[in-house]
Amino acid sequence: QVRLVESGGGLVQAGGSLRLSCTASGNHYDINVMGWYRQAPGQQRELVATVEIGGITHYADSVKGRFTISRDIAKNAAFLQMNNLKPEDTAVYYCNAKPRPIRGWMPPDSWGQGTQVTVSP
């Protein structure tokens, strides 16, 4: 499977910014969609943002206007620029990659190990 490694998490005060990075390595599958998900303590993992290979993006309502997802297809990388962070954004953030089917076979999604984002009041 494709290996995903996240970086850029940390501790920041409310109103601050962080930029998360995700780099894919290992098996060279064509990745159709890349995205960011997050999971706070006691909650289910939720979608934050996705970006398709053509550039179409999706955002959770809670982050619209504050977060921006982007990708560098040539480098197999995805990024999440997070501005005006709120304490409610505190969570472990996971990178996700959905590959294209290969001759009728759908490879499983790849997930990173996660990076902790903590926003203090």
Question: How much is the pLDDT for 102?
Answer: 85
What's the rounded Cα separation, in Å, for the pair 111 and 121? 30
The residue ranking higher by pLDDT, 13 or 103, is 13
56-91 per-position pLDDT tens digit: 999 999 999 999 999 998 888 999 999 999 999 999
Give the rounded percent of residues in the chain with a pLDDT score beyond 70. 97
pLDDT > 70? residue 28: no
Contact call for residues 18 and 8 (beta carbons, < 8 A): yes
CA 12 to chain CA centroid, Å, is 18
> What CA–CA distances, in Å, run from 9 to 26, 58, 104?
23, 21, 37
Question: How much is the pLDDT for 101?
Answer: 86
For residue 99, the SS3 value is: strand
35-55 per-position pLDDT tens digit: 999 999 999 999 999 999 889
- Residue type for 20, please? L
Mean pLDDT for the chain overall: 94
How far separated are the first and last CA of the chain, in Å rounded? 39
Question: How much is the pLDDT for 63?
Answer: 98
Q: Tokens 């005006």 correspond to what residue?
A: 84
